[in-house]
Chain A
Amino acid sequence: MPFKYFGKTNFTPYTKVDKFADYLHKGKLMGTKCKKCGEIYFPPRADCLKCMDDSFEWIEFSGKGTLNSFTTIHAAPKGFDDIAPYTIGIVDLLEGGRLLAWIGDIPKDEIKNDMPVKVVPRIFEEIPEIKLYYTIEKP
């Protein structure tokens, strides 16, 4: 269950798309594609929303996209108070779908709606266990 490594705190270690975390560990951001109708998903889905087929394949996403919206969270939930305040954003991905993540090394006054961004796979280095995530960066 590689998915347990995804996230600072992971709530869902068991999923049909757990290979997502294996790929992320190798530095690849992957989405899914329905084998029957070809619909592309991010976040990944094992079962097609459109045609209900349950066979899928992995496809690599470029990580490129634009920043739809963002907020700086000051009042953090359990497990995140040590890193507050932190800024999260929603990215409209180039290949379709959206992603939510922390905004990485973009100075606060340069963060703008609709700016081009790139999603970068990462590993928490300060924690002994493997913890995978991704951040939103300037392209």
Chain B
Amino acid sequence: MRVGIVGIGHGKFGNRSDATVQELAFEPFKQAIDDAKNLGREDIDALVVGSVPEYHMQRSLPGVVAEYVGMNPKSVWLTEAACASGSAAIRTAYMSIKSGLHDIVAVIGVQKMRELSTEEILALMGRVGDVQWESIFGTTFPGYYALYANRHMHEFGTTKEQMALVAVKNHFYGSMNPYAFFQKEVSKDRVMDSDDVASPVSVFDCCANADGAACVILTNKKLAKKFNDTPIWLEGMGSASAQMSLLRRPNLVEIPSAVEAAKQAYEQAKVKPSEIQVADVHDCFTIAEIMAYENLGFCEKGKGGKFIEEKQSYIGGKTPVNVDGGLKAKGHPVGATGLSMTTEIVKQLRGEAGKRQVTGAEIGLTHNVGGIGQYTFVQILRR
């Protein structure tokens, strides 16, 4: 039986030192219940929380979230897959509805990344790769994506300027998104002139750590129409993994888990890449969006740089990508990011995206990558 989305909510992303984690979680949860028609909190069978626990002072996060949003004594659990925790949580909710175990499930993605001290953040940052063989040389997140970028440039002639154009596009659309951390446009020169973080990755090639939460409510086909006149259906649910270490990957110019997850999602949804009318992809770094164009089949392998240069990922181009601003402009509260992507595509397919609307969009896609590609989840959604 089909699984559909009947309610969505999205809190403000950014520096949220005004709220605790559970208070952040409450905001989109309330919105999602209000967004659905005739749905009360008591109708929800289960709550899935998508989050990365090591960023929070509070241990066992789902416990405090379930209590604060008022879901006790219903079933609640956490799903973790690094930066893809949000989409992983949607996947477990989907599974529980498909199996018939639950009828209506809420998924909250929430993260507060500014709770830890800079010292603790810097220590965590040093352990993102394989700690046995790589972290001992001081590798970092931007450093790994820089290694992808360096090789991609070498093999395909991708340029720093093309990477900068991804940031320009995403900040352009982010300027129209009231939930985004950064709502200002940036020029190509500003991006190109920003300081090196890990060459060729500069400050403006990176997304920013942020606090925030987003929520979706899922149900089965039988109940969907009762709670929403326009349910958005989850038609393709791809999920795959790749080696933790770049040292064991087949190459350094693509994310193999993304290629595999995309293949699964397209097959299940019986959709071709060219039929995707709007997509939200994991642009944690600008090179990541360029690789996403290729890994998702929006363009040929190695042509991702050209794709942005020709503005094919703008509204009006072949496949509009991250027209909500992406991680670049919205900020990246890791557990909330996958949920943010799904709520954006739901808005687009309902025709409720306002100034950022892709006219007549009926098929959309999300692409949520965990870590440096260890996990990728690809969803295809249809009106």
Contact = CB atoms under 8 A, between A and B. Distances in A.
B134 A73 contact: no
Given A69-B150, A79-B126, A113-B151, A74 B138 contact: no
B135 interface: yes
A56 to B, nearest CB: 16
B56 interface: no
Interface residues of B, number: 38
A86 interface: yes
Which range holds the interface residue count of chain A?
A: 35 or more
A77 B133 contact: no
A96 to B, nearest CB: 11
B199 interface: yes
Contacts of B365: none
B143 A68 contact: no
A80 B129 CA distance: 15
A25 to B, nearest CB: 15
A100 B138 contact: no
Nearest to B253: A69
Contacts of B125: 77-78
A86 B133 contact: no
Given A79-B126, A99-B247, A71 B133 contact: no
A6 interface: yes
Contacts of B130: 43
A12 B132 contact: yes
Given A100-B137, A133-B136, A11 B197 contact: no
A133 B137 CA distance: 9
Given A71-B201, A100-B246, 14 more contacts: A11-B135, A42-B247, A43-B132, A43-B245, A70-B147, A71-B150, A72-B198, A76-B140, A77-B123, A77-B125, A77-B127, A78-B126, A88-B137, A102-B137
20 contacts: A11-B131, A15-B132, A69-B147, A69-B148, A69-B154, A70-B147, A71-B201, A72-B196, A72-B199, A73-B138, A73-B146, A74-B196, A77-B127, A77-B138, A79-B138, A85-B196, A88-B137, A98-B247, A99-B247, A100-B139
The 3 closest A-B pairs by CB, nearest first: A7-B136, A77-B126, A80-B138
